[in-house]
Amino acid sequence: MRRGIDYQNLSRDDLIYLLGVEDKAEIEEIYAEAYKTKLKYIGNQVFFRGLIEISNICRKNCYYCGIRSGNHNVHRFNLSEAEILKSARWAWEHQYASLAIQSGERDDAEFIDFVEAILLGIREFSGNDLGITLSCGEQTEETYQRWREAGASRYLLRIETSNREFYRRLHPADHDYDKRLECLGRLRRTGYQVGTGVMSGLPGQTNEHLADDIIFFKEHDIDMVGMGPWIPHFETPLGRAHPEIDNTRQLEMGLKMIALVRLYLKDVNIAATTALQALHPAGREMGLMAGANVIMPVITENEHRGDYVLYDGKPVCDENAEGFRLALDKAILKLGEKVAYGNQGNSLHWQKRVGKQHG
């Protein structure tokens, strides 16, 4: 039976109930309420982050991820500094105003220096014009500090699941939930806009887990959220054990999570991620209509793009090709939204937290 829901004041029970809703009209209502909330706080604008995947070398071995260190069938690559700077400049010239720099996790000195050098290189040509989100895994506070000083202002480190026991089931024994939590604390202390997120639709995951994930984001006062549906990758333990998924259900769960995070946290930045697009060609646009306000088009122009494959069916298209860019622009306009070119799109939640008026 349908229950009365106060969408602006959801309880944990409401979240669990809504995650379980299967009636199409009721699901549409959740998306519509979330979209209204997004309009109220953020307006009808979408922020772009030009995504540069700088390396798929990773020391971790997460059971779900295609570039885990245990997968020996991946061609490993590192982009050169020149390649990265070229892409960054392209984004800057095209008014993207923000970049997201992503890689597998490494903590050796060479890598730390390399990331720092890139950040300094970007600052050299762009001044402080480009907002930079880093996503390079767990690091020491000193490393986070160095990267912050070199010009990164946001950091995305997904908690993957906020349930300690479930985290243990998704990762090998030397991957530590508490260390990840500690890293979120370090990021906060070093002054980043802090982003985290989870995967939805994982085997063994419950609606209670997901409701608690949403509550976790709020309790940790998170500024940005990047989430996506889990998609099996054939060369991973989890993907091999569960090779079949129901695309429609996975997409629906991913969209519901976006909607519920928007309704529960209201003023955070939420990305409509590539995993949605892997399940449906218009998955990211659906994400926007369910309350997301950020899209991260891959902007690197190189032969390695097909090697950064975390899950099967990841779309590999030339998003910086003029045709794709214009098509995405047009699709966004058709939704009644527009890309906020030239606007860094800092998290409203963060702006309020630190007392900034504009960003």
- Binders of ligand 5AD in range 173-202 (CB under 6 A): 199
Nearest approach in angstroms of CB 123 to ligand 5AD is 25
Closest CB to ligand SF4 belongs to which residue? 65
SS3 160: strand
Print the binding letters for residues 42-61 with ligand SF4: x by CB under 6 A, - otherwise: ----------------x-x-
Q: How many Å from the N-terminal Cα to the C-terminal Cα in the chain?
A: 44
- The verdict on 228 binding ligand 5AD (CB under 6 A) reads yes
Q: Which of 67, 187, 272, 294 binds ligand SF4 (CB under 6 A)?
A: 67
Count the residues of the shown chain that bind ligand 5AD, applying the rule CB under 6 A: 12
Q: Is-contact 10 258, C-beta < 8 A?
A: no
Measured CA to CA in angstroms, residue 81 lies from 26, 88, 107 at distances of: 49, 10, 18
Which entry of ligand SF4, ligand 5AD, none binds 291, CB below 5 to 8 A by partner kind?
none
- Binders of ligand 5AD in range 8-47 (CB under 6 A): none
- Binders of ligand SF4 in range 86-125 (CB under 6 A): 104-105
Which entry of ligand 5AD, ligand SF4, none binds 199, CB below 5 to 8 A by partner kind?
ligand 5AD
Nearest approach in angstroms of CB 65 to ligand SF4 is 3
Phi-psi region of 355 (alpha: psi -120 to 50; beta: other; left: phi over 0): left
Task: Identify the residue whose tokens are 């949403």.
Answer: 214
Give the Cα-Cα-Cα angle 151, 123, 138 (nearest 5 degrees). Answer: 30
Q: Which of 42, 65, 224, 263 binds ligand SF4 (CB under 6 A)?
A: 65
- Binders of ligand SF4 in range 118-137 (CB under 6 A): 137
Nearest approach in angstroms of CB 179 to ligand SF4 is 12
Comparing C-alpha atoms, which of 285, 227, 289 is closest to residue 27? 289
Q: Which of 275, 286, 289, 348 binds ligand 5AD (CB under 6 A)?
A: 275
Q: How many other CB atoms are there within 10 angstroms of residue 359's CB atom?
A: 15
Helices 247-265, 24-42: inter-axial angle, 10-degree rounding: 40
- The verdict on 62 binding ligand SF4 (CB under 6 A) reads yes
Comparing C-alpha atoms, which of 276, 351, 268 is closest to residue 314? 276
Q: Which is nearer to ligand 5AD, 156 or 340 (CB)?
A: 156
Q: What single letter denotes the amino acid at residue 314?
A: K
Task: Identify the residue whose tokens are 């309009």.
Answer: 39
Residue 345: partners with Cβ closer than 8 Å, 6 or more residues away = 45, 47, 48, 49, 97, 98, 131, 269, 293, 294, 359
- The verdict on 15 binding ligand SF4 (CB under 6 A) reads no
Rg of the chain over Cα atoms, rounded to whole angstroms, equals 19
Q: Which is nearer to ligand 5AD, 37 or 200 (CB)?
A: 200
Which entry of ligand SF4, ligand 5AD, none binds 228, CB below 5 to 8 A by partner kind?
ligand 5AD
Stretch of 27-35, 36-44, 141-149, 224-232 contacting ligand 5AD, by CB under 6 A? 224-232
Q: Which of 64, 167, 192, 217 binds ligand 5AD (CB under 6 A)?
A: 64
Task: Identify the residue whose tokens are 């998609």.
Answer: 231
Tell me how far apart the alpha carbons of residues 69 and 64 are, in angstroms, rounded to a whole number: 12
Residue ranges binding ligand SF4 (CB under 6 A)? 58, 60, 62, 65, 67-68, 104-105, 137
Contacting positions for ligand 5AD (CB under 6 A): 64-65, 158, 160, 199, 228, 230-231, 233, 275, 310-311
